[in-house]
Structure 1
Amino acid sequence: MGLIDKFWPSKNHTTTKESTHQLLEVPENWDFYMFDIDGQPASYFLNLALTRIAPILDRSTLLWVEIKMNHSREDGLSSSEEFDHLIEIEDQLIPALTTRLPALYVGRLTHNHLRYFYFYCKDGIDVDPILHKIMQSYPDYSYHFGQKVDSDWSTYFNDMYPNEEIMQSISNRSVIEELLNHGDNLEVERPVDHWIYFQNEMDRTVFSKAILSLGFEIIQQDQVEASQNFHYQLQISRSDSVNQQSIDACTIQLIKLAQQFNAQYDGWETQIIRN
């Protein structure tokens, strides 16, 4: 896979020092996405790489801190007017909890005029004194916090982690950013190649017939080694522009079609067009 492999964000690690002097290696791949919750927009900022180590046995309690925004937008998201204050609070809150307590920060949610910070921590820790000390410096902001047992990290996996379509949109955005860094004109149509993997040859054959009506052409069909039971590869291509809206619509269409055949969509690549 060309651009997808080359342009995917780097995966880093941080080492968190615990009060027991043990070290917890934490992979990092932070990204954001928009979502709809009860008809209102929501913005998630999340460490996607935690799927590689979660759930963590001794981080079985979910801790959330809720801060009411004072100058949010009408749609409930944060405003540029309040940006500096919110970042200032965040820059104090997260280090205080993660360095003084056995707590791991996993992400935040902005929604309905509120900003939530989510951590997974050991059971029974007392966060009240730390939060009270920090928020004393911000008397205009009201806050609340809560904890619940979540040993399987269901909130992270089921409520926060993006679904397949959103993950693909995040991947698309990453590729688009790299194309722009190379001077690409996203609006110019050019051949865009896509890869799909199937569990059997029959599904691949029927899928191939279906995508011909959508204007795609078959580039290559192979049988490959695979860690899972998806040995039948299909490479297809169609001329498209690669702005976010266009490529999202294309890839989501292919993902949904692939799901009908128990197949896996595996990304796209294209050439750089500067004119």
Structure 2
Amino acid sequence: MREPAHRPYQGGDAAMAEDAWRMYFAEMGGLPASIVFNDGIAKRLGDLPLTHAMKIRIPLKSPRGDGMTTREEAGPVNQLDETFDKIITAHGGEYLGRVTNNGVRWVLALIPAGPRELEAALNAAAAEAGYAADIHVEPDPEKAVYWQDLYPTEDDRQVMVDMEVQSALQQQGDDPAKPREIGHWIYFREEAAAQAFAGWARETGYRVDSVAPAQEAAPLWLVRMAHHGTLQLNDISGHSLTISRRAREGGGQYDGWETPVTV
């Protein structure tokens, strides 16, 4: 049984659903950060008639040593987050996502001008849940609260995909700590670029299985290569990030990895 991470190469971005909630991890201020955001809203964000950004700061009651939520507090603070989402939506705003870092949960949204009633409702909900909310509102015609505070970089997005495929495999019984063969797919527009990349891969220690025209994505060229390793996130993402960066440098696109379920 196999769980592929690759998909046919596409010249443009695939159409996104209205709401597509995704999560990834990053580092902020030398500490881990968890980011949950609506990936699906990106296509229509510029059309939203919302002119102001709202940032809600909620100090956690008992964060872990690394500043993230404990299991005990995750439930209540996530419930408050869902309540905020409903309140923001009811007042004509758009809930965008949340960031948890350094003992603080940030809730981010786009809202219409004149948010006094909205702020009052949010403060009341926070107080009822036993939290204190510090709310900041500022003009944001460029929607920077989404693009700069939530939207992932190319590297962030690669790690996010790694996490999602790893999770799908684990649901089928995979043990991420077990070493196995992991295949990688990389597309190029020209044969010369594909061959140059394959040369780098061999020198780096990867096994190159083929460099050939991509049957499902002509006239592109596909490099298929593999390595032996685990699906522990620091291991697989170390490879996927190295490969994807090198592919971009050579004018190609890393299309993901695949591996058999290993128990």
Report Cα offsets for 1:168-217 as digits up to 9, x if no partner: 12211221222222222333333322111223322222111110022223
Secondary structure of 1:249's aligned partner: helix
- CA distance in 2 between counterparts of 1:208 and 1:12 reads 32
Match of 2:123 among 132, 135, 139: 132
* Structure 1 equivalent of residue 12 of structure 2: none
* Structure 1 equivalent of residue 91 of structure 2: 101
Unaligned stretches of 5+ residues in structure 1: 14-26
- CA distance in 2 between counterparts of 1:125 and 1:202 reads 57
Match of 2:198 among 208, 213, 217: 208
- CA distance in 1 between counterparts of 2:184 and 2:197 reads 13
Q: Which AA in structure 2 matches 1:64? A: K
Is 1:197 matched with 2:187?
Answer: yes
Q: Quote the RMSD (CA, aligned, Å).
A: 2.8
Secondary structure of 1:65's aligned partner: strand
Q: Which AA in structure 1 matches 2:87? A: A
- Structure 1 residue 148 displacement after superposition: 2.1
* Structure 2 equivalent of residue 21 of structure 1: none
- CA distance in 2 between counterparts of 1:233 and 1:123 reads 50
Change in 2 beyond 3 A, CA 1:207/1:42 = same
- Structure 1 residue 264 displacement after superposition: 1.4
- CA distance in 2 between counterparts of 1:112 and 1:160 reads 16
* Structure 1 equivalent of residue 33 of structure 2: 42
Q: Which AA in structure 1 matches 2:199? A: K
- CA distance in 2 between counterparts of 1:231 and 1:107 reads 37
Secondary structure of 1:187's aligned partner: coil
Change in 2 beyond 3 A, CA 1:181/1:87 = closer
Match of 1:237 among 216, 221, 226: 226
- CA distance in 2 between counterparts of 1:236 and 1:245 reads 20
TM-score for both structures, normalised by structure 1: 0.80
After superposition, residues 220-235 of structure 1 pair within 5 angstroms as: 220-224=210-214, 231-235=220-224
* Structure 1 equivalent of residue 112 of structure 2: 122
Unaligned stretches of 5+ residues in structure 2: 8-14
Is 1:152 matched with 2:142?
Answer: yes
Is 1:263 matched with 2:252?
Answer: yes
- Structure 1 residue 48 displacement after superposition: 1.9
Is 1:172 matched with 2:172?
Answer: no
CA contact (8 A) 1:185 1:273 kept: yes
Change in 2 beyond 3 A, CA 1:230/1:33 = farther
- CA distance in 2 between counterparts of 1:236 and 1:273 reads 19
- Structure 1 residue 105 displacement after superposition: 0.9
Q: Report which structure shows greater RCO (CA 8 Å, sep ≥6).
A: 2
Report Cα offsets for 1:117-142 as digits up to 9, x if no partner: 1111223343222123323424x532
For structure 1, which segment, 28-37 or 248-257, has the greater mean C-alpha deviation from structure 2 after superposition? 28-37
Identity of aligned residues (%): 21
Report Cα offsets for 1:71-109 as digits up to 9, x if no partner: 2233322223433432342232221221x2111111111
CA contact (8 A) 1:106 1:119 kept: yes
Secondary structure of 1:160's aligned partner: coil
Change in 2 beyond 3 A, CA 1:230/1:62 = farther
The ranges of structure 1 where at least 4 consecutive aligned residues each deviate by more than 4 angstroms after the TM superposition are 224-227
Change in 2 beyond 3 A, CA 1:226/1:118 = farther
Secondary structure of 1:184's aligned partner: coil
- CA distance in 1 between counterparts of 2:32 and 2:3 reads 34
CA contact (8 A) 1:230 1:263 kept: no
